[in-house]
Amino acid sequence: MQPVNIGLLGLGTVGGGTATVLTRNAGEIARRAGREIRIARAAARSYDADAIEGLDQIGQIGEDAFAVVDDPQVDIVIELIGGYSPARELVLRAIDNGKHVVTANKALIALHGNEIFAAAQRAGVTVAFEAAVAGGIPIIKALREGLAANHIEWIAGIINGTGNFILTEMRDKGRDFGDVLAEAQRLGYAEADPSFDVEGTDAAHKLTILGSLAFGIPLQFDKTFTEGISKIEPQDVAYAAELGYRIKHLGITRRADAGIEMRVHPTLVPQRRLLANVDGVMNAVLVKGDAVGPTLYYGAGAGALPTASAVVADVVDVVRALTADPHNRVPHLAFQPGELADTPVLAMDDVETAYYLRMQALDRPGVMASIAGILGEQGISIEAIKQKEPAQGETHVPLIMLSHRVKETCMNTALERISALGAVSGEIVRIRMEALAG
C-alpha cells in the first residue's frame, strides 16, 4: 500500500516536535495506522535544525506554504503556524484541493471553525484538531467519542498552563502577580506580551471549542465571557486558603435552563477537589456526564512533544479513515452537521454562581448591617463572613464574605450600591466560586 504523504506547515516548537515524533516512532505509527506515514514536504521561514530529529527524512523543505497545500502528492496537511492569517487561507485552500487537515490552532478553530468545517463537509475531507485544546490531553476525542452516550452537564477546566503556574506560585510562596509573571517569561512559559494567557483569551478559544463539542452548538467565541488573573492579589489567595479554597483560572461551560454558560475567569474551588490540586503548568479538564458522572483528564497542556502527540494521533485517525465514506466519519463537532442546536449562549449577567467578596469597611457599628441589608434586598444569601483585624492606625478593616449562588446581575447591582456607601473604601474584589460537585 502506498505511503501517506504529509505536508507540514511550520517547524517551530510544535512543528519540530511533530517531525520528531513522526520520524522517531515511524514504525510504531505505521503499525497503528496500517500504512507508512512520511513527511513529503514542509514549509518554514526558519527553524532550529539541531532541535528536530529526522530532519533529513523530510522530502523537501521550503518557505512557500501555499506550494505545499497545492502539491498534488500531499494527502494530509498539518497546519502548525498558528494565528488567524494566513492559517485560515491555507486551511481553506487545502480543503478546496481535497486534502485532509490536522491543526493545533485553537484561535483559528474558535473564530473560523464554522466556516472551515462547512467547507470540509462539502469537500468530503476531515479537519482534525485534538491538539488545539489542552495539548497532549485527548479531551476532544473523549467528548466526541468516549462520552458520546452522555448528556454533558458541565465542563470545568484549567486549560492555560501559564496562568496556572502563576497562581500556584502566588499560593505556595506568597508572591505578587507581577513578580511571578516576570519569572514565567524568563522560563519561557509566558510570551513577551502575555495578555493572551493571563487575560484569558487563550483559554476562551479552547473553551469555545469544548462548549461546542459538549452541547452541539456552533462555535461562538464572541459570546464567551473572559476575565483574566492580573488583578488577583496575594491576600486573596491567602484568604481563600483560610476558607478552604484555592483560586484557579477556569474555563467553565454549563447547560442551564435558559441556555449555555460559556465563561473564563478566576474561580474559588474547594481545596479538596482534584481540580484544585492541579499545579504548575499542568492542565486538567473535569467533565460531568449524566451517565458516567464526573471524569477528569490531566496532563501536559503545552510543549513540543506533548502537543505533537495529539497532532500525530489525529494524523493516524485520518489515515485510518481515508477510505471511509465521508458521511460515516466522526463529526467535526461531535454532533451531525445538521443536528447543531440554536441553544443560546447566556450573557454573564444571566449566569448563576457563588461569590467571594473582599472590601475595606469602616470599623464602626451599623456598617455590617447596611451591607447585609443591601445584599438581602438583592436576594443574596451569605454563607460565611470573616472580618480581619485593622492595621495599626487604620479605621477600615478587610471584610471577607462568601455568598450562596445568585445571578450575576443581582450581585452587580448590590456591589454598585455597596461601593456607594461612605463606610466602604476602595474597589470591592469579587471572585466567582464553583463547588464542582459530582
Place of cell 454549563: 254
How many CB atoms lie under 10 A from the CB of residue 373? 10
* Degrees, nearest 5: CA angle 298-163-255: 60
Concatenating the DSSP letter of every residue in 102-166 gives: EE--HHHHHHHHHHHHHHHHHHT--EE-GGGSSTT--HHHIIIIITTTS-EEEEEEE--HHHHHH
Q: Name the residues annotated as catalytic.
A: 206
Other beta carbons within 10 Å of 84? 12
Q: At what angle do helices 304-320 and 13-24 cross, to 10 degrees?
A: 60
Please give the backbone phi and psi of residue 298, each rounded to the nearest 5 degrees, phi first: -130, 145
- DSSP-based three-state secondary structure for 308: helix
Amino acid letter for position 100? H
- First-to-last alpha carbon distance for the chain, in angstroms, is 48
305 and 315 in contact (C-beta within 8 Å)? no
d(CA 156, CA 287): 7
Helical axes 234-242 vs 161-173, angle rounded to 10°? 70
Residue with cell 450562596: 404
CA angle 259, 261, 265 (to 5 degrees): 165
Q: Cell numbers for 274, please give them.
A: 482534584
Nearest to 371 by CA among 405, 399, 394: 399
Strand partners, 285: 157, 297
| Nearest-angstrom CA–CA distance, 171 and 242 | 12
CA distance 402 to 380: 10
- Give the Å distances, CA to CA, from 95 to 74, 75, 120, 131, 272: 12, 11, 6, 19, 47
CB 211 within 8 A of CB 260: yes
